[in-house]
């Protein structure tokens, strides 16, 4: 299956540039094909040059924006995966540390002064 160039989210972000591109393309076609005004070489060329130049610049800006948005999305996704993997490794390390530390935490039979506080009961003396 063919891989898409841009994701659905990127296309939704670029819609704000695609709509004006469509409007400009409509007016370029309208002025070239139908010609509601008489053709004057200076003014007609100037008008189409301004609209056509704006169209080309906006198309380039839209493409560059799409590449930047996709690149940012990929970087943030990779950063999220790395953070998730790091958090999982910390949880595993903590669990392993807690499992090995439990033997060290056994209660001590001696008191603070080092004397044995256990009292022998009469049954143990026998």
Residues in a beta bridge with 116: 110
pLDDT computed for residue 57 by the predictor: 96
pTM above 0.95, yes or no: no
Q: What is the pLDDT of residue 91?
A: 66
Helix axes of 8-29 and 41-101: crossing angle, nearest 10 degrees:
180
How is 7-32 classified by DSSP, letter by letter?
-HHHHHHHHHHHHHHHHHHHHHHIII
Cβ proximity of 109 and 117 under 8 Å: yes
Q: Kindly give the parts of the chain with pLDDT less than 50.
A: none
- Tell me the C-alpha distance between 33 and 47, whole Å: 14
pLDDT of residue 119: 58
pLDDT tens track for 59-94: 999 999 988 888 877 777 777 777 777 777 776 656
């Amino acid at each position: 299956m063919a891989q898409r160039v841009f994701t659905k989210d990127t296309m939704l972000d670029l819609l704000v540039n695609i709509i004006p591109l469509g409007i400009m393309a409509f007016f370029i076609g309208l002025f070239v094909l139908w010609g509601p005004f008489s053709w004057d070489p200076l003014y007609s060329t100037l008008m189409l040059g301004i609209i056509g130049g704006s169209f080309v610049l906006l198309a380039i800006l839209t493409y560059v924006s799409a590449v930047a948005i996709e690149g940012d999305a990929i970087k943030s996704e990779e950063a999220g995966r790395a953070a998730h993997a790091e958090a999982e490794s910390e949880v595993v390390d903590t669990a392993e540390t807690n499992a090995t530390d439990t033997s060290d935490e056994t209660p001590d039979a001696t008191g603070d002064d080092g004397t044995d506080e256990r009292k022998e009961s009469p049954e143990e003396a026998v």
